[in-house]
Amino acid sequence: MKLTDLDIIVTAPPAPGWGGRYWILVKLTTDDGITGWGECYASSVGPEAMRAVITDVFARHMAGESPENIELMFRRAYSSGFTQRPDLTVMGAFSGLEIACWDILGKARGRPVWALLGGRMNARIRAYTYLYPLPHHDLTAFWTSPEMAAESALDCVERGYTAIKFDPAGPYTMRGGHMPALSDITLSVAFCRAIREAVGDRADLLFGTHGQFTPAGAIRLGQALEPFSPLWYEEPVPPDNIEDMARVARALRIPVATGERLTTKAEFAAVLRAGAAEILQPALGRAGGIWEMKKLAAIAEVHGAQMAPHLYAGPVEWAANVALAASIPNILMAETIETPYHAALIRSGITVEGGFITPPEAPGLGIEVDEALARAHPCTGDGLHLQMQEAPCDYVHGNSFAGGAPLKT
């Protein structure tokens, strides 16, 4: 069995676009006709540029190879160009292709991917969700309304979720870390208070920030949040400032989580060695793929850290996250996004019921990709999957960040 063909589909989820502006799906086919699906979570260059990168990575390191030789292909890609160091774009390409190899291997053996990773450790996986507006909420006002957030949180809890994430703490700017505006701290506290009052102890609060603060600013905000006992404080400083993140972790009583922008065990291991985080959030379509993150889970285990795979992408990456989560002992929870398009794209092959995910029993990733649907929603814009704000923090009028979603009509 050899890898022979590659197809790439860039599909754009319908408005309001939860999960990003586009998802990069890859389909690999073997010489005996088995197909496998993966998803590349890569956003530092546009999708057309990523097509070229994915094509090159496949042709250079994978074409004609057995899909079983994942370690060999990873080492080729990781070493490409005399590097042997994490490369976000190359790993973004390889990760999706690697996921597709696992899908092929599971289908060839008639077994789910988790069965090839040491078997099923977890019969159910705790899911968490970001807080999204309810149908009657104003889409613009929602992101600065503690009352609407509390209403959305209660809806999530009533559907079975035991953990909910929100991030009202101000803008993510290209300027790096900033000191939060006092109004942003006040709003963040109001969100935590309103949500905690609405859900009580039925759900953990996951406080999302995305690297927007200086260490001093992150500590200042974190100390204001401590009375509400969030389960985590996500990426409080820029992701490569590991010593700064460790400084924040030492100063607070809230566990620090990080990882959606990191790639390979090398970057994550540096975080663990520094004591910078206790919860790791790899995006499997970026971080090196399933096998690389299986290794990371073992490294994290001996550091007393837990895994909480990140998802701001499509359902193929989610399926990979679920396969990994099913197989490791130190899974904390897995992010989910429930939209009609997510469900339809994999023909509801994996679902959330009562706040938990049941790992699929079907071969491979356990999903059936609706290829026609993916092609029917092509990406037509010129924006990146996610984009940072250029304007600095507004200390006069306050700030708002619309949940990472492009505002489309």
Give domain status of residue 382, yes or no: no
Q: What is the mean pLDDT of residues 154-180?
A: 94
Question: Which tens digit of pLDDT belongs to each residue from 209-261?
Answer: 999 999 999 999 999 999 999 999 999 999 999 999 999 999 999 999 999 99
**Residue 40 confidence (pLDDT):** 98
Range of the domain at 236: 116-365
- Bond prior to 309 in cis (omega within 30° of 0): no
Alpha-carbon distances of 382 from 24, 96, 251, 399, rounded to whole Å: 14, 22, 41, 25
Give domain status of residue 168, yes or no: yes
Question: Which tens digit of pLDDT belongs to each residue from 182-202?
Answer: 999 999 999 999 999 999 999
Residues 6+ apart with CB under 8 A from 312: 19, 20, 41, 260, 283, 335, 337, 386, 404
Positive or negative: CA dihedral 37, 43, 48, 53: negative
More confident: 87 or 407: 87
In the chain, the percentage of residues whose pLDDT exceeds 70 is: 98
Question: Which tens digit of pLDDT belongs to each residue from 261-302?
Answer: 999 999 999 999 999 999 999 999 999 999 999 999 999 999
Neighbours of 108 (CB within 10 A): 17
* Minimum mean pLDDT range among 175-179, 204-208, 313-317: 175-179
pTM, entire model: 0.97
Give domain status of residue 75, yes or no: no
Question: Which tens digit of pLDDT belongs to each residue from 45-92?
Answer: 999 999 999 999 999 999 999 999 999 999 999 999 999 999 999 999
Q: What is the mean pLDDT of residues 369-382?
A: 95
* Minimum mean pLDDT range among 159-163, 188-192, 391-395: 391-395
Q: What is the mean pLDDT of residues 23-36?
A: 98
Tell whether the model's pLDDT for residue 409 goes beyond 50.
no
Give domain status of residue 326, yes or no: yes
Most distant pair of Cα atoms in the chain: their distance: 63
292: CATH: 3.20.20.120
Number of domains the chain is built from = 1
Residues 6+ apart with CB under 8 A from 92: 40, 41, 42, 43, 44, 50, 53, 263, 285, 286
Give domain status of residue 313, yes or no: yes
Give domain status of residue 370, yes or no: no
Alpha-carbon distances of 290 from 38, 172, 234, 261, rounded to whole Å: 11, 29, 22, 16
What is the distance between the alpha carbons of residues 38 and 314, in angstroms, rounded to a whole number?
10
Give domain status of residue 48, yes or no: no
The tokens of 224 are what?
């204001």
Neighbours of 314 (CB within 10 A): 27
Task: Please say whether the beta carbons of 245 and 256 come within 8 A.
Answer: yes
Give domain status of residue 336, yes or no: yes
Task: Please say whether the beta carbons of 164 and 189 come within 8 A.
Answer: no
- Gap between the terminal Cα atoms of the chain: 46
